[in-house]
Amino acid sequence: MEAYSAERPSGWRKWLLNRFVLVPAAILAVAAAWNLYASTHDDGLVIGQVLDAQGKPVEGADVTLWVFSFTTFAESRSVRTGADGSFRITGNPSHHIQLSAVKPGVGSSQRIPIRLFFRSQNTTLAAPLVLSGKA
């Protein structure tokens, strides 16, 4: 009898340790962890660098953030690159953006599409914006 009762979960274990509780609990835990991560990484930072066709940093290039709005991309804000060609955009409100850069006399870049996993996700560009042609 003892062996029988030892094998059978009883009381709270019976109600808690089964797949109908554990699976939803695991899903809720993952969702909570994801929300925690999102809430601590949603400052809207977009960091990157602008280079010219020869691969040298471009100072004073205008970098424009385009934000997806319903069906088209609308210009949201612009910043200017520093001496090392880097830029830092703050307050990106979207999860679906494009970036472009231009400097008169040096050239312009194509619009680079960037997809994010949640709105305002902080991101650093994997590849720099490259200016080519004369703007």
Cα 22 from chain centroid (whole Å): 31
Query: Which one, of 44, 83, 61, 68, lies nearest residue 130 by Cα?
Result: 61
Closer CB to another protein, 43 or 84, in the complex: 43
Closer CB to another protein, 76 or 81, in the complex: 76
Give the three-class secondary structure for 73. Answer: strand
Minimum separation from the CB atom of position 103 to another protein (A): 30
Minimum separation from the CB atom of position 16 to another protein (A): 15
Minimum separation from the CB atom of position 22 to another protein (A): 10
CA distance 104 to 84: 18
Radius of gyration of the chain (CA): 25
Closer CB to another protein, 51 or 97, in the complex: 97
DSSP state of 22: H
Minimum separation from the CB atom of position 95 to another protein (A): 5
Query: Which one, of 81, 98, 100, 93, lies nearest residue 122 by Cα?
Result: 93
Name the residues that contact another protein, by CB under 8 A: 19-20, 23, 70-71, 95-96, 115-119
Closer CB to another protein, 13 or 115, in the complex: 115
